[in-house]
Amino acid sequence: MTIRFDGRVALVTGAGGGLGRAHALALAARGAKVVVNDLGVTRDGSGSSQSAAEAVVAEIEALGGEALANGASVTDFAAVSQMVAEATERWGAIDILVNNAGVLRDRSFAKMEIEDFRFVVDVHLMGAVNCTKAVWDGMRARNYGRIVMTTSSSGLYGNFGQANYGAAKMALVGLMQTLAIEGAKNDIRVNCLAPTAHTRMTEDLGAALPLEALGPDLVSPGLLYLVSEEAPTRCILGAGAGGFERAYVTLTQGIRVVGPDAPEQVAARFDAISDRADEIVPDMGAAQGMIELMKAQKAQG
């Protein structure tokens, strides 16, 4: 099976450099028309310029592809909606959305200003919400859509100094989980990509990373699969240095304790609660309640 995107239109946010640029070029190389969105801000979200997006469009056009530059801020729903409307008028639809735009304002939580927390969440989480909402009805109407949220190991597992970033990135997993359920009947498949790559977002870590092995282009093959016709849905795909892994949100079988000493029983039997034998990946949130009720019913026997 060769993955192609002929006749498809893709919107990639934060596509003026790094991972977004690599994704946009990879999609265009396989036939997609690409909306290259980038506000052109610095790493912390200040300033703006559309020149980065225009440069990527020029690269795509030089290779014989079709692309459109757009400088809308993903935090501005009206601007995002206008961007989608313009692309739809030009090409007829948005089939693929890659929510890649992001910023960093790293600092330990004790030293972090609340505005820096709010701004990072606004860009990563609400930016993805705004873009997804803007394309959602069109995808439902055509019974086709492929959406990727860019999550991070910092959200899945934590990272010192990134409480704001990690919270936003884990929130995108929750967004994916529900949208994949809601979009299933209209063949809208929603996934998460957790990349490891050397970009300006990671330049401060340079001394600790083998940079030559961490090109953004080594992440994009995973992205292409997640937005292909044969894409999975509700997948968290790790990607970096040519390696690919899956992350799961799992649920152990646990135990049941009741009575006045229940807190002490939880403490005493925490190893049993944590036992990963027979853990599951729930199809929906209600699975937790169902397991708990089954324990109660069994105890009443």
| pLDDT tens-place string over residues 165-217 | 999 999 999 999 999 999 999 999 999 999 998 855 555 544 455 667 899 99
Position 287, amino acid: A
pLDDT single digits (tens) 230-245? 999 999 999 999 999 9
Q: What is the mean pLDDT of residues 127-137?
A: 98
Residue 201's pLDDT is 56
Spatial distance between the Cα atoms of 149 and 98, rounded to a whole number of angstroms: 7
CA 52 – CA 69 distance, rounded (Å): 9
All CATH 3.40.50.720 domain ranges of the chain, comma separated, are 9-247
Phi, psi values for residue 245, rounded to 5°: -140, 165
Contact (Cβ atoms closer than 8 angstroms) between residue 40 and residue 51: yes
Question: Contact at 8 Å (CB) between 224 and 26?
Answer: yes
3-class DSSP state of 97: strand
Predicted TM-score of the model (pTM): 0.94
What integer pLDDT is reported at residue 206 of this predicted model? Answer: 46
What is the Cα–Cα distance from 18 to 34, expressed in whole angstroms?
A: 16
Catalytic option among 144, 165, 225, 248: 165
Query: What are the two backbone dihedrals, phi and then psi, of residue 97, each rounded to the nearest 5 degrees?
Result: -125, 125
* Digit-coded pLDDT (tens) for 156-177: 999 999 999 999 999 999 999 9
Q: Taking the domain 9-247, which CATH number applies? A: 3.40.50.720
Whether 165 is catalytic is yes
Nearest CA among 182, 180, 184, 183 for reference residue 192: 180
